Copies of this chain bind each other. A is one copy, B any other.
Amino acid sequence: MSLIVHKYGGTSMGSIERIKNVAARVAKWYEAGHQLVVVPSAMSGETNRLIGLAKELMPQPDPRELDVIAATGEQVSVGLLAMALKARGIKAKSYCGWQVPIMSDDAFTKARITSIDDKKIRKDLDDGYVVIVAGFQGVTDDGQITTLGRGGSDTSAVAVAAALKAEECLIYTDVDGVYTTDPRVVPEARRLTKITFEEMLEMASLGSKVLQIRSVEFAGKYRVKTRVLSSLTDPHMPLSDEAISGTLITFEEDEQMEQAVVSGIAFSRDEAKITLVGVPDKPGIAYQILGPIADANIDVDVIIQNTSTNGFTDFSFTVSRNEYAKAMDVIAGVKSRLNAKEVTGDTKVAKVSIVGIGMKSHVGVASTMFRSLSEEGINIQMISTSEIKTSVVIEDKYMELAVRALHKAFELEQG
- Nearest to A23 among chain B residues (CB) is B57
User: What are the interface flags for A89-102 relative to B under an 8 Å C-beta threshold, 1 for contact and 0 otherwise?
Assistant: 00001101011000
Out of B76, B93, B145, name the residue touching A69 (CB < 8 Å).
B76
Question: Does A68 touch B at the CB level, under 8 Å?
Answer: yes
Cβ of A57 and Cβ of B80 under 8 Å apart?
yes
A58: chain B residues within 8 A (beta carbon): 83, 86-87
With contact pairs A56-B16, A143-B99 given, residues A69 and B61 touching in the complex (Cβ less than 8 Å):
no
- Measured in the bound complex, the distance between the Cα atoms of B78 and A325 in whole Å is 36
- CB-contacts of A54-110 with B (<8 A): 54, 56-58, 61-62, 64-66, 68-69, 71-72, 75-76, 78-80, 82-84, 86-87, 93-94, 96, 98-99
Secondary structure at chain A's binding surface: helix, strand, loop or mixed?
helix
Cβ of B75 and Cβ of A69 under 8 Å apart?
yes
- Nearest to A20 among chain B residues (CB) is B57
The tally of residues in A whose CB lies under 8 Å from a CB in B reads 36
Out of B54, B56, B75, B83, name the residue touching A79 (CB < 8 Å).
B54
Question: Does A229 touch B at the CB level, under 8 Å?
Answer: no
With contact pairs A16-B57, A54-B79 given, residues A86 and B62 touching in the complex (Cβ less than 8 Å):
yes
Out of B53, B72, B84, B143, name the residue touching A75 (CB < 8 Å).
B72
Question: Does A125 touch B at the CB level, under 8 Å?
Answer: no
With contact pairs A16-B57, A56-B16, A143-B99 given, residues A94 and B65 touching in the complex (Cβ less than 8 Å):
yes
Question: Does A50 touch B at the CB level, under 8 Å?
Answer: yes
Question: Does A19 touch B at the CB level, under 8 Å?
Answer: yes
Cβ of B53 and Cβ of A82 under 8 Å apart?
no
A94: chain B residues within 8 A (beta carbon): 65, 68
Seed contacts A61-B83, A68-B94; 11 additional CB < 8 Å A-B pairs: A16-B56, A19-B57, A57-B84, A62-B83, A65-B79, A65-B83, A66-B83, A68-B78, A69-B79, A99-B143, A99-B145
Cβ of A80 and Cβ of B54 under 8 Å apart?
yes
A19: chain B residues within 8 A (beta carbon): 57
User: What are the interface flags for A35-58 relative to B under an 8 Å C-beta threshold, 1 for contact and 0 otherwise?
Assistant: 000000000000000100110111
- CB-contacts of A114-163 with B (<8 A): 143-145
What is the distance, in angstroms, from A165's C-beta to the closest C-beta of chain B?
Answer: 24
